[in-house]
Structure 1
Amino acid sequence: MASKTFIVMSDSHGDREIVRDIKERYLGKADAIFHNGDSELPSSDSIWDGIYVVAGNCDYDSGYPNNLVLPFSNFTVAQTHGHLYHINFTWDNLIYFAQEAAADICLYGHLHRPAAWQEEGIVFINPGSVLQPRGEINEKLYAKLVIDDDTIKVTYYTREHQLYPALSKEFIR
């Protein structure tokens, strides 16, 4: 398989400009772009053309799906915001969701904290928030994934598209 490149953002909370900026930078260059919820934009907004997007707890438009399960050539991506799985308190429900989806990668948001970790053979990725970071990493971030036959590489970028190297990780598939 040729490698796939994914761009993942989340928790933009009404900042349409950053969604547009990331989309314009990567549309046609990345294999897929994801938004993990809490955009607070209408689901009918043309900004979503070419972006996989799910509902967050601050998205009151019923036009968003709660979850997506997306098969690609030889792997599956499960996407959710995370609030419906109570990720503030436990990872178990998110892990079960990803397992039930037979996912290789599970994208989530909600916590506004960048994270990349592997459990039960599934790589879980939170891109952080492009507007309101929380926790020890006080940087507005999004993530870039490069997936090939053997590895999943995760790197994080600032809103100014500068690499944030401290969070880079690589996982064996």
Structure 2
Amino acid sequence: MASTTFIVMSDSHGDREIVKEIKERYQGKVDAIFHNGDSELPSSDPVWDGIYVVAGNCDYDSGYPNNLVTQLANVRVAQTHGHLYHINFMWDRLDLFAQEAQADICLYGHLHRASAWQEGNIVFINPGSVLQPRGEIREKLYAKVEVTDTSIKVDYYTRDHKLYPQISKEFKR
């Protein structure tokens, strides 16, 4: 059975060290690393080598794309920050973006709230913020996603790389 594993972080807001630390911890051990925007770092920063990164509403460097669609072995990932899809108010536009990309997974950020949910055949994942969490969960988090032919498992980790199992989820494909 084919398996793909990747890391997702978002909303690091100038904290280059946590981006670097997560990259160094996982690079070469997972199939991909994603950052969903609001890094506030230059797009030319070497920390981005080997990371799929998109622009957030606090990224003023025009070198970042607004969206990416990435095919990883057995999974197609659509990625955006979310602000351009008005996710503070509705999910329709984000869902349409994911459908048009023919995505299995849609990654987003912006809300600083860790969550994972499924709509139709698409799993939507917000890794939370590694710097400024909002909402009920006040832990600074990132996500590890494991995809097989039959499931998508989402685990959340704290900045000190400890599993935060309270909000882990698994979805059927």
Q: What's the TM-score once normalised by structure 1's chain length?
A: 0.99
Structure 1 residue 50 displacement after superposition? 0.5
2:49 is matched with which residue?
Answer: 49
Structure 1, residues 71-95: CA drift from partner, whole Å, max 9, x if none?
2223210000000000000000000
Q: Which amino acid aligns with 1:22?
A: I
Q: Secondary structure at the match of 1:131?
A: coil
Provide the secondary structure at the position in 1 that maps to 2:125: strand
Count of matched residue positions in the alignment of Structure 1 and Structure 2 = 173
Superposition map of 1:31-50 within 5 A: 31-50=31-50
Separation of aligned partners in 2, 1:98 and 1:165? 27
User: Counterpart in 1 of 2:58?
Assistant: 58
Indicate the SS of the match to 2:106: strand
Distance in 1 separating the partners of 2:63 and 2:137: 32
1:88 aligns with 2:88: yes
Mapping for residues 14-163 of structure 1, pairs under 5 Å = 14-163=14-163
- In the alignment, the residues of structure 2 paired with residue 140 and residue 124 of structure 1 have an alpha-carbon distance, to the nearest angstrom, of 19
SS where residue 130 of structure 1 aligns?
coil
Q: SS of 1:22's equivalent?
A: helix
> C-alpha distance in 2, partners of 1:33/1:110?
18
Please give the alpha-carbon distance, in whole angstroms, between the structure 2 residues aligned to 1:106 and 1:83.
Answer: 14
Distance 1:92 1:120 in 2: 13
* SS, match of residue 171 in structure 2: strand
Instruction: Indicate if the aligned counterparts of 2:129 and 2:142 stay in contact, CA closer than 8 A.
Output: yes
Query: What's the offset of the Cα at 1:120?
Result: 1.7
CA RMSD of aligned residues (A): 0.6
Shift of 1:101: 0.4
Q: What letter corresponds to residue 69 of structure 2 in structure 1? A: V
Q: Distance in 2 between matches of 1:172 and 1:126?
A: 18
CA shift, 1:49, in A, is 0.2
The gaps in structure 2 that reach 5 residues or longer are none
Question: How far apart, CA to CA, are the structure 2 residues paired with 1:146 and 1:131?
Answer: 24
2:44 is matched by which residue type in structure 1?
S
Identity of matched residues, %: 80
Amino acid in structure 2 at the alignment position of 1:27:
Q
